[in-house]
Structure 1
C-alpha cells in the first residue's frame, strides 16, 4: 500500500525508531507499521478502526483495538497520527498518556489542514513538544510526556443530548469524533421522519452514536436490531445510548457488511462518505452492491445520503428498483425491496 503523506514525513527519520518499543496510534491508514517492525525492538498498534485492526492482525502485527488501551508492556516512543477532530485528539492524548505513563517520547505527524499545528497547545499539559520537520503540506512534532493524565474515565468523555421525534424521546450519548456527537444531523432526521413500516430483524449499518437503531427499538419494540460500525468509539457510544434508554440491541464491529453473516428484514443506513479528511465513496458503494446477500426475500433497504451522490443506479443494479421517498435540497432517502433471489 502507498504510504500517506504523514507516514512519508515520518519515514524521513527512520533512525529515530531504531530499537524502540513503539506504539502507533491515531488516524492510521497505511501499512507503514510493517516497515517499522523491521527496525524497532517491538511494535504495537492501538486503533479505534476495526478494518485497520483486522488488516494488521493478518500481517502478524500486535494490535489493540477498542475505545481505550490496556497494555502490559512498556512503550518508550509513540508515533501518533493526528485525527481530523480536535476533540478526538484531546481524548486520545488524555487516554494514551494515562495508559503509557511518563518519560515516553511522542512523534506526532499529520496534514496541516487537519489542525496539527494546535498540538503544542494541546500537548502542553503532558509535556513539551515542538516542530521537528515539515514536508508535503504535513508537519512532524517531537517531544516527551513528563506529566501524563493522572486519571482517565471513559464516562467523563461522553456528550449527552435529548432527542424527541414524534412520540419517541431518547437520550443520545456519544464520544469525541463520533458522527452526530452533539446534535441530530439533518440527514438522519429526514430518514427518521419518513421511515416506512419496519418489522422483524433490522440491521443499522454505520450506527455512529446509535440514533437510528435506538429510535427503531423504541418505536417498534417487537423488532430485533443489530447495530454495526467500523469505529470502536461509535461502538462504545451506541452501547451507551442503548443502555441510557433501557433498550436491548446487539452492537458489533464491522466494516460495512464485512463482519455480518445473518440476513435481515430491513437494512438501514446513513452511510459516511468521508474517511478522515478525504472523500471516499467505495465503502458505501460496496454496501449497496453486497446488500442483497444480507436481505431476506421481500426485505427492504433504506438509505439516506447527500442528494448529489449517485447511489440510485447502484441500488437499482443490486435490487432491481429504487424509489426516492423523501428529498430536500441536501438529502434524499432511498428505498428498495429485494424481489429476487
Structure 2
C-alpha cells in the first residue's frame, strides 16, 4: 500500500542534499517510505502522522521515531517538511501544531502535488516566514522553502474545533480540519440516518469521522453500546468532542479496518471512505465487506451508504450471499446484509 514512491517523493529525492542537512519533523500526506530515504541521506527525521494505518506500517518497518495523534509531542524540532494534505484547512492546522517546535531561522519546506493545493504554500507560510522560494518542480509536484521568522503562538487544539448544529437530531457536531462532515451533514449520511430504523445491542460506527452517525444513533437509542473507529486521529478527536458536547458515551479508538476491533456486533453502520489523499481508494471498504460477517452475531446486520456507481452489491453478495437495497437516490444507495 505504501511501497511505491509517490511523484511528490520522487521529486523530493532530487533535493535530499538540502532536506537532509538537519533532522526534519515530517508530517502531512505521508504515503510512502520518504522518511527512510531521508534517514539514508542524513540524520533520521522525526515523523508525525494523523494516519493510524501509516503509523502501523512504519512501525512494522522498524521506524521508532514516529508519533500518531492530533499534534506532535513538545520536544524541539530542527526544521519542518509538510507534505501538503488534501484540505488546505488541515495544512493550516498542521503548521500551527508543528511550527511552535521550531526556533527562529529554522528551515520550513512544503511539498505536494500541483493539483493538490501546494501552490498555496506562499500564502500558508506568510504568517510565519518572510520570504518563500520555489525550490523545485518536477513530476507535476513542487517544493517550497522558507525560514521561520515569526514564532507562532503555542498550539491549542481547542482553537481548531468548529461546531455546527444537527437540528434534526438536536445535536451539536464538533469537527476538526480535514475531517469528513467537518462543516455540515453530508447527503449520504443524511440518507443513511433517515433510512435506519430501530437498532439494539452492540453497534460499530466504522469510519466515524466527526461522530455524526454515532451520536445520532445514540441520541435515538441511548441503550446502545456504541464503538466508533477511524484511522484518522483528527476524526477520532472530533468524535470524542461531539459525544462529550452532547453528553453521550461511546468507546472511540483507532483501528486499521477491523484489525483493532474485538468481539462481535449486532450492527455495523458505515459511510465508508473511498478517497485517500488525491486518489480514489476502495481497499478499506472492500476489506470491510469481505470480513464484516465475521464480526456480526447471527442475525446481525451490515448497513452502509455508498455512491450509486460503486460495485458494492456484488462484493456484499459474495460475502453474505445476499444484498438488500433499503433506499436509493440518484447519487446514493443504502445497502443492508444480514449474517
**Contact 2:107–2:147 (CA<8 Å) still a contact in 1?**
yes
2:213 alignment partner in structure 1: 212
2:166 counterpart of 1:163? yes
**Contact 2:84–2:116 (CA<8 Å) still a contact in 1?**
yes
Partner-residue secondary structure (3-state), 1:114? coil
1:245-324 → structure 2 map (5 Å cutoff): 245-324=246-325
Give the distance between the partners of 1:19 and 1:126, measured in 2 at CA: 21
RMSD between superposed Cα atoms in Å: 1.2
Structure 1 residue 193: Cα displacement:
0.4
Give the distance between the partners of 1:318 and 1:164, measured in 2 at CA: 37
Give the distance between the partners of 1:104 and 1:294, measured in 2 at CA: 49
Runs of 5+ unmatched residues, structure 2: none
Give the distance between the partners of 1:316 and 1:35, measured in 2 at CA: 43
1:145 alignment partner in structure 2: 148
Structure 1 residue 75: Cα displacement:
2.1
**Contact 1:95–1:149 (CA<8 Å) still a contact in 2?**
no
Partner-residue secondary structure (3-state), 1:332? strand
Give the distance between the partners of 2:20 and 2:6, measured in 1 at CA: 21
Partner-residue secondary structure (3-state), 1:53? helix
Give the distance between the partners of 1:203 and 1:287, measured in 2 at CA: 12
- Size of the alignment, in residue pairs? 335
The one-character-per-residue Cα deviations of 1:95-129 (angstroms, maximum 9, x if unpaired) are: 11123343221121101111111110110111132
Partner-residue secondary structure (3-state), 1:12? helix
Partner-residue secondary structure (3-state), 1:84? coil
Give the distance between the partners of 1:102 and 1:328, measured in 2 at CA: 54
1:87 alignment partner in structure 2: 89
1:63 alignment partner in structure 2: 66
Could you tell which deviates more after superposition, 238-247 or 258-267? 258-267
Structure 1 residue 281: Cα displacement:
1.1
Pick aligned residue for 1:28 from 27, 30, 34: 30
Give the distance between the partners of 2:15 and 2:305, measured in 1 at CA: 44
**Contact 2:80–2:99 (CA<8 Å) still a contact in 1?**
no
Scaled by the length of structure 1, the TM-score of the pair is: 0.96
Structure 1 residue 177: Cα displacement:
0.3
Partner-residue secondary structure (3-state), 2:82? strand
2:194 alignment partner in structure 1: 193
Partner-residue secondary structure (3-state), 2:110? strand
Structure 1 residue 19: Cα displacement:
4.7
Give the distance between the partners of 1:101 and 1:175, measured in 2 at CA: 27
1:123 alignment partner in structure 2: 125
Give the distance between the partners of 1:248 and 1:43, measured in 2 at CA: 38
The one-character-per-residue Cα deviations of 1:295-334 (angstroms, maximum 9, x if unpaired) are: 1111100000101101011111111111000000000000
Deviating runs (4+, > 4 A) in structure 1? none
Partner-residue secondary structure (3-state), 1:299? strand
Partner-residue secondary structure (3-state), 2:167? strand
